[in-house]
Structure formats: C-alpha cells, structure tokens
Structure 1
Amino acid sequence: MTASTTTDQAIRVLLVEDDDGDALLVEELFADAGIAVDLVHVRSLDAAVHALDADCVLLDLGLPDAMGLGGLERLLDAGAPAVVVLTGLSGTDLGLQALAAGAQDYLVKGEADGGMLGRSVRYAVQRQRSEATERELYRSQVRAEETSRLERALLPTPVVVDPWLEVGVGYQAGRDGLLGGDFYDVVERPDGSVLAIVGDVCGHGPDAAALGATLRTAWRTLVLAGADVEQILPLLERVLDSERWAPEIFTTASMLAVAPDRRSADLYLAGHPVPLLLGPPSRLVPPTMRDRALGVPVPGTWRPQRLELSAPWRLMMYTDGIIEATVVGGRLGKDGLVELVDHTLERGTASLVDEVIGQVRRRHGGQLADDAAAVVLGWHGSAR
C-alpha cells in the first residue's frame, strides 16, 4: 500500500497491521488530517523487521507472529525508528508498559482520529530525532574526553630543568584528526643527562593510540626509575609484547641520551628514520648502528651510536609521517625534509617544530594521511 499523499517532505510510515480494514482506516485518517505520508503496509512482524527504512512505525500488538509487547521489543532490537503502538488492546497499564519498553506513543483503535494520529506520528518522529541527536552529542563528548586523555598520555610536557637546553616538541594527528600511535617524550635525569624518544606504533586509530600511550608512559617510568640506558629499549619491548593486540604489531623508535656535559649523545635507532643535525646547512646523521624495530621476532638488540657534539648544536627526531607526506613530485622524503628545515631556519621562527610540521602539511595540501611527531633538542651554552 502506498501513501494517500506523497511529497518530498512526506513522513515515511511503516504500518504493521494484519487487518486490511484497519490498514485502510489508518490511510483514511492520514488523508483526513492532511498529513503527507509515504505509507508502507506489511502484515507480520517478520516482514516489518526487513522493512525498517522508515521515519515511524505504527505497530499493532496483535499479529499472527507476535502478540503483546514481545513484538515491540523485537522490533526495537532490530533497530526500528520511532514506534507508535496502535492496537485494539485497551488498558492504561499496557500503554505504560509499551512506553516503558521504548514506544514513543500508544493509541487505541477506534479512539484515535486523524488529528490525534497525525500529531502522535509527528511528535514521535521529532522526539526520536531529538533523542538521536542527544545520543550523538553524548558520544561526541565521550570521544572528545577519550581523545583528550590519550593526548595527555601521548603528548606529555617535557621534564627538563636545564635553562640552556632547547626543547621543542610537536604532533599532528593524521586521518581526519584521529590520534594514532606516534609518541614522544623528553626527561632530564638528576645527574644532568637528558633522554628523549620519538616512537611510532604501526597502525592507526584508538588501538594504536592506546598502545603508544602505554609505551610512552612505560618509557618515562623506566627513565625516572633510573634504568640503565642500554636496558630501556629491551624493557620497552617486553611491555610491547605484553600489551599489543596482535603478534605482528611492532614499534619503531629513535632514542637519544645526551651526556650531562652536553658534549656527546648516544643515539639508539630501532628501525626508525635517522635524526637531523640542524644547520644551516642541516644534514642527516650518518647511521652506523641501525637495529631492528621493537617487537620484530629476529635476533639482535640495540646498540648506541656515539655522536660528538660541539656547542651550539640542535638535533631533530621525527616520525615517518613527516617524510612520507605526499608533495608535488612525490613524497617529501628525507632530502625534502632537510631542504624544508633549512628554509624554515633561514626565515626564522619562534617554534621550529610547529613551523616545520605546518609547512609539511601545507605542501601536502591539507591533513596528513599519517600522524607526525617531532622533537628538537638543542644546546646553546658552553660545555658543562
């Protein structure tokens, strides 16, 4: 049965009624009330479950395959929109039970005229839409709170007291602003040494973000607890092994341990891009000790590469979301990053990391496909 009146603004109504006479009466009531509806009539609950593409369902509680509130509950479990119960079963208790079970309204056959039926359907649809909007708003608020908690875990405030040490950090979420598994941290120890890490959990989305937050927190805990530097990555891998959701999940990382006198630093590369020694001219640190990513089941541990530093110096660590950004001519790449950094340094900026990530995003033409994180450490004083 199609609607008595159909327009672009018609309310789509699914009538679940096994009595053809009652179905014809409903159609006439809509016509008398001047309500524009697109009316679809089915005679059983089984048929209704497969025809729920509607704004409102008018449901009879006495059907061949469902009697009473069980039919209403089954319809709602199947994802029905606003439901108005229209039945010959009178009784206040049944009406209240129907409303408590999830119906938007309850009308008794023979007592409802066209105006009452029209208002009931319109109000039911509006209430359903308002409730859906409120639920979506609540979900958005929950997601925002969850994102904020993940951001606090992934994007910590560096713990550095040395006034001569430059520390710059930055992060840009990829894929429409959803957090991923990139993380960073910088901590100064009581002996004056400074440890920094940039890491990247493979994958995207909340699982990768949660694992990245766990690894970042574990790393800071190990550093603050005074773990030997050469034991930090092996211990971090044990955390990864126990927390990852699948055995193929791995994490790349670049860790720097700057000596208290700031004359040298030990670089640990776990399958991660090499840092930049900033100029201008800037250059990639030549890797001599590049080891496997965390979580990859092959033999080998992580060995330090000693970097001799002379003041003033600046080092940039970054995740591959920066160098894999697509620009005119292909990927940005490491050479493109060097060129971009030097161009940024020549122009001068208050926040090198933010400016570099912003320039990468502009050259990419918008939101990056992958997360991007970077850390800059610099020393501008004399040797300690």
Structure 2
Amino acid sequence: MPAPVPRQRAIPAAECGQAQAVPAAGRPSGDAYPPRRDAARTDDETVREAATAENDTTHPMLTLLLIEDDPTAAPIVPDLLDSDGKPIRVRTARNLTEAERLLTDDVHCILLDLALPAPGRAAKAGETEELAVLRHVLRLAPRHAVLALTASGDAERGAEAVRVGAQDYLFRDELDGRLLSRAIRYAVERKRSDTAERRLAEGKLRAQENARLERGLLPTPLLEGSPLRFAARYRPGRSRALLGGDFYDTVRTPDGTVHAMIGDVCGHGPDEAALGVELRIAWRALTLAGLCGDELLGTLQQVLEHERDDDEIFATLCTVDIAPDGRRAGLCLAGHPAPLIAAPGRPARLLPQENNGPALGLVPGARWPRMQVELGSEWSLMLYTDGLIEGRVGSGRKERLGQDGMVEMIRRQFSEGLSGEELLRAAVSEVRELNGGELTDDVAVVLLDRVP
C-alpha cells in the first residue's frame, strides 16, 4: 500500500508556479489544500504525468526542485516567472530520499538548503556537514544545475559550495521572486555551458587519442640494408579519419628480398579499417616467417574469414617480392589492379594482370598464381588502391579516371621530373581536383624506386 503523500509538496498544487504556503498550525486551508487523489496512484506516476505534460508543450516550463526539510516554516520560494513570463513549476522534497524520487528528467534546477541534515554516512575528513549534503546531491544529479541556499551573511560557505560544484549560492533571508528567477535561469544556462564545454574537451581528447592510435597503426617500412627508396601516400575516405580500409606494408627479409604489399577491404567504416590493420600485420608476420605467393595469400584468406563480421566482406591484394639484385620480381594479384612501372627512356605502363586471381574471401580454396616480371636496372614501381582510379573526370564528371587515365597522368608527372613523395602528392592532389572535391573512397599509394 503506498505511503500517504505530504500535502505541502503535492505536484498538482505546486504546478501553479509557486511553493504552497503552509500555516504554522499545520493543516492548509481553503484552496491551498491539494485535491484528493486515488490512493492507488503513486508519487512517481504523478511526477511522470507532469513531465509528459510539460514535454508536450512547445516551450517547456522550467521546473525547480526545492530540497528543504522544514514544512512549517515561512515559504522561502516566492512566485517565480521565467524569461517569457511563464510560471516556474516548483516541487518540494523534505529529504534526499524524496528528492531522488522527484528528480525526473524535466527538472532543470535544484535549490538545496545547506542546513539539511547530512546523509547517513560520515562526512569526509575536513568536510562540513553542509558540504556533505551538497556532494551527495551533486552525485545524485550530475546533469542538473544546483543552487545552494545558506544563511544570510554566510558568504564563505556559499563560495565553498560553488567551488564544490554548485552553479551559484543564495542567502535564505534575501530571496525575492526576481532574484531567484534570474538565479535559476543563470544556473541552468551555466550548467548547459559547462556541460557543453566538458563534452567538447572530452571529444577533443578522444579525437587526439584516436589520432595517435591510428597513426600508430600505419606501418613503418622495414627496409634497412636495401638500396630501394620508399614513399607512400595515404588518404582515408571517411570524414575526419586517419585510417581507412586500405592498407600497405614493405619489409626486407634476411636474404635481401624486398616484399611489398597493398590491399583494400571492401567498405569504408572503422570495422573495415580494423580488418585492414589485422591483414597487414598478418602479412608482415607471415612474410618474415618465410611465406610467399600462393601459400601466403591462402593463409591471409583464412585470417580474413575468421576475423570478418560478415561473410560478404572481402579484400583485394597485390604483393610483389623483389629479388636482392633488384632486376626482377614476383607478382601476385588477388582481385587488385596491377602495379605501374616506369623507367628512363620507357613510358609508364601497367604490369601484366592476366593471371589476376579472386579477391580474398570470395572463393574457398582459391589459388593465386605468381608471375615473374622483369624490372631492369633502374625503375619506379607504384602500387595503388582503386581509390586512385575511381574518381570522376570530364564535363559533368560522369566518367571515371580509370587505369588508362591514371597511367597518362603518371607519365606526364614523371616527364615533369617529379619523383618520390612529390610525385605521390601531386598524383593524389590532381585526382582530387579532377573529381571536383574530396574522394569518397580510401586512397593508398606506395612507390619503390631503384636508382643505381
């Protein structure tokens, strides 16, 4: 059976916009007496109905929760109006237990009497009883504005309450409607501002942490002892991201062979980026363990099948293993565009791609033939993902750049004397300009140069 509701804090009486005066004799008289309610209805139901009614309006009414334990004292909350001249609803709780029940989402501000008895637990060492009450309320209502109410002249205690976390403090004996209304509006806006500032700071911190994490996941080439020069360019398609579904890596094994790889997980989200990192790390480990060609790609397919969230996720891959003398290389393609090679006196061209096998994750038990290609004594080898060739070009930008357009662009840039990082930066910038803005797909480009 529900407990009887104290009349001086009944919600219907309080919704008129002011706290109800209760004569010292105890029983209210006349219209001040709240209407009888069905005994089967609880305080919580009444509060929820009031919150629903408020949320249905175009301009919600401000709600103040007064936590004050002396129901027979003269009313400390005068008539209150918000900035639009509408009444501010007042709810009254005589203790922290009632306050917790009345603290619904539609409450905007709490007016806490610091003279309220402290919670049952002992105050911390050096903490006054009043501040123990305030700290308890702040823990109870971390998202609500709080005004501390203290005795007149006790400014030191009020200032300490603000330092603890209240938005402002007021003197009990100096309250009037205009002062309290203005203080409530100020406290609510200050709390909103503090909350927004805290969330902004937290968002910046998370962004910085994510940036450091993503930078740490990008590979560091292991080419110590190799005469080859390395350059890479990476541009994720996701807004504000540093890492996408494209991945690449380059390592030199103890026999002097340089292994390079570039790949692309279908999709553009964080899950695809994470899977790309897993595949890259697996490729490096397997390569350093001595695997190559079809055996390596078959093992990578097993890794993808175990790590992907959806059976339709696949990844394209291009691997090359360059002999220690730098004149020839083995090439494996798994549904990926063929690399581009350029050399002095010879225009840039694509390496053969007739033996292009299926992308990883599409065909169980697939095989990927390894092709032997001649590189020559001086060359530049560029591996790239399809983000570089799928940008739009032409009037209306209906056509894609494609491999042929990319080859012509690289030929021209080589003829202009560009190389290394400068060449890759110019290539990605020009593709973006031809597209008329940011590319929607991830772009990764790796360039290896052999200069005798």
Tell me the CA shift for residue 230 of structure 1.
3.4
Which letter does structure 1 place at the counterpart of 2:402? G
**Partner of residue 332, structure 1:** 401
Select 2:236's aligned residue among 167, 170, 173.
173
**Which letter maps to 1:292?**
P
Q: Which residue of 1 aligns with 2:146?
A: 105
| Match among 34, 50, 57 for residue 44 of structure 1 | 50
SS at match of 2:369: coil
Q: Deviations over 1:103-128 (max 9, x none)?
A: 321478x9742213312321332232
TM-score (norm. length: structure 1): 0.79
2:377 counterpart of 1:311: yes
CA distance in 2, matches of 1:291, 1:251: 12
Kindly state the Cα deviation for residue 226 of structure 1 after the two structures are TM-superposed.
2.5
Amino acid in structure 1 at the alignment position of 2:138: L
* Equivalent runs, 1:93-172 vs 2, <5 Å: 93=118, 96=134, 97-102=136-141, 103-106=144-147, 112-113=175-176, 114-153=178-217, 155-172=218-235
Aligned equivalent of 2:116: 91
Question: Deviations along 1:284-306, whole A, 9 cap, x unmatched?
Answer: 22212111111114442211111
Question: What residue in structure 2 maps to residue 242 of structure 1?
Answer: 306
Displacement after TM superposition at 1:92 (Å): 5.5
CA contact (8 A) 2:234 2:445 kept: yes
Contact 1:99 1:106 in 2 (8 A): no
| Aligned partner (choices 224, 248, 253) of residue 184 of structure 1 | 248
Instruction: For structure 2, list consecutive stretches of 5 or more residues without a partner in the other structure.
Output: 1-9, 21-47, 66-89, 120-132, 150-171
User: For 1:337 and 1:215, how far apart are their aligned partners in 2?
Assistant: 27
SS at match of 1:254: strand
Aligned to 1:208: 272
Residue aligning to 1:269: 333
Distance of aligned partners of 1:194 and 1:55 in 2 relative to their CA distance in 1, 3 Å threshold: farther
* In structure 1, distance between residues paired with 2:91 and 2:303: 56
Aligned to 2:427: 356
- Which of 7, 14, 17 is the matching residue for 1:23? 17
Asked if 1 retains the 8 angstrom alpha-carbon contact of 2:112 and 2:146, the reply is no
- Structure 1 distance, partners of 2:251, 2:148, is 68
> Quick check: 1:257–1:267 contact (8 Å CA) kept in 2?
yes
CA distance in structure 1 between the partners assigned to 2:92 and 2:19 by the alignment: 17
Measure the CA separation in 2 of the matches of 1:259 and 1:86. Answer: 78
Q: Shift in Å at residue 229 of structure 1? A: 4.1
Q: CA RMSD in A?
A: 3.2
Please name the residue that 2:164 is paired with.
none
Q: Secondary structure at the match of 2:347?
A: coil
Name which of 341, 350, 362 aligns with 1:296.
362
Letter of the structure 1 residue corresponding to residue 99 of structure 2? G
For the Cα contact (< 8 Å) 1:158–1:187, is it kept in 2? yes
User: Cα 1:303–1:257, aligned 2, differ >3 Å: closer, same or farther?
Assistant: same
Q: After superposition, give the CA deviation of every residue in 1:178-215 in whole Å (9 maximum; x if it has no partner).
A: 23211110101110101111111111121111111111
* Counterpart in the other structure of 2:99: 68
Provide closer, same or farther for how the CA distance between residues 130 and 236 of structure 1 changes in structure 2, counting only shifts above 3 A: same
Q: Distance in 1 between matches of 2:259 and 2:333?
A: 14
Deviations 1:56-92 (A, max 9, x none): 65344459xx9531342x42xxxx6x8203599x936
Task: Please identify, of 164-173 and 347-356, the stretch whose mean Cα deviation from structure 2 is larger.
Answer: 347-356
Please report how far the alpha carbon of residue 278 of structure 1 lies from its aligned counterpart in structure 2 after TM superposition: 2.1
Identity %: 34
Deviates more, 1:236-245 or 1:93-102: 93-102
Q: Secondary structure of the equivalent of 1:132?
A: helix
Unaligned 5+ residue runs, structure 1? Answer: 1-15, 27-41
Post-superposition offset of 1:24: 6.2
- Cα-to-partner distance string for 1:160-183 (whole Å, 9 max, x where unaligned): 124531222110122323232111
More strand by share: 1
TM-score where L is the length of structure 2: 0.68
In the alignment, the residues of structure 2 paired with residue 61 and residue 23 of structure 1 have an alpha-carbon distance, to the nearest angstrom, of 9
Task: Check whether the contact 2:293–2:368 (CA below 8 A) recurs between aligned residues.
Answer: no
- The question of whether the paired residues in 2 share the 8 Å contact of 1:18 and 1:43 is answered with no
